[in-house]
Structure 1
Amino acid sequence: MKTAVSIPDDLFVSAEKTAKKLGIPRSQLFAIALEEFIQNHSKEKITEKLNEVYAKNIDATDHSILNISVSTLRRSLKNDSW
Structure 2
Amino acid sequence: MRTVLLVLSLALNVWMGVKLVRLEDYHYASQLGMCAEYLGPDLAMQIKRDTCLEKTQTRTSAFWTVFYALID
Structure with higher helix content: 2
Whose radius of gyration is greater, 1 or 2? Answer: 1
Question: What's the TM-score once normalised by structure 2's chain length?
Answer: 0.44
